[in-house]
Every structure is written in C-alpha cells, then in structure tokens.
Copies of this chain bind each other. A is one copy, B any other.
Amino acid sequence: MNIENTKTQMSKGIFEYCILSLIRNEDKYASEIIEIFSKTKFDIVEGTIYPILTRLKNASYLSYYWQESNQGPPRKYYKITPEGLLFLNQLDEIWSDIEKSVKQIINY
C-alpha cells in the first residue's frame, strides 16, 4: 500500500466522467485527450484512454468518425450522443455528491 497506488485507486472510476466532459462541447480524438490530461495532475495513459473510449462507444454514449490528418495517420474523432449527454448530466450530479460527502466526512 503505497502512495502512488493509492493515488491511482482514488482517480480510478473518475476518468469516464472526465473524458465525457471533455467531449461534451467538442469532438476529440484519443491523443488530443491524452494531451489535455497531461496538463492536469491526473496520470492517465493511452492503455486506459482507448478502452474507456471504446466502452463509452459500445454503451452508445459516444459515436465516432474518421478524419484525415496532415500530420500522420487518420484520426478517430469521438462525438457525444444525446444519450451520452443525459448520462453525463447524471455524472455531474454524482460527482457533486461525492465532493460534498468527502467534505462532510473530512469535517466530521
């Protein structure tokens, strides 16, 4: 039980919410998402991002399309679906509840 692992465990489960949030207002491809995450204190790697995107796509919360790139191979852009938006709105609520509950417990 070390601090790095605990940090990972604490972040685990929040990534889906974060990724959907990123895609809420603008379609994105995986490497773009990884780049954005790298600017936060989250440590997330591609081995995590891709399965999450696939999972969300399989659940019909995201759709995708391919777009040529002038910097390398084509990119797979993800776009949030109406169902995805509904789901995400619920996740907003849940995250808010979690923050409040943690605060409640820390200040107990």
Copies of this protein in the assembly total: 2
Q: Is the interface on chain A under 10, 10 to 19, 20 to 34, or 35 or more residues?
A: 35 or more
- Residues of B contacting A14 in the complex (Cβ-Cβ under 8 angstroms): 10, 98, 102
| Inter-chain contacts of A39 with B (CB < 8 A) | 104
A78–chain B nearest beta-carbon distance, Å: 15
Chain B residue with Cβ nearest A18: B105
A interface SS class: helix
Tell me the complex Cα distance, A55–B61, Å. Answer: 36
Give the interface of A toward B (CB within 8 A). 1, 3, 6-14, 16-18, 21-22, 36-37, 39-42, 55-56, 58-59, 61, 87, 90-91, 94-95, 97-102, 104-106, 108
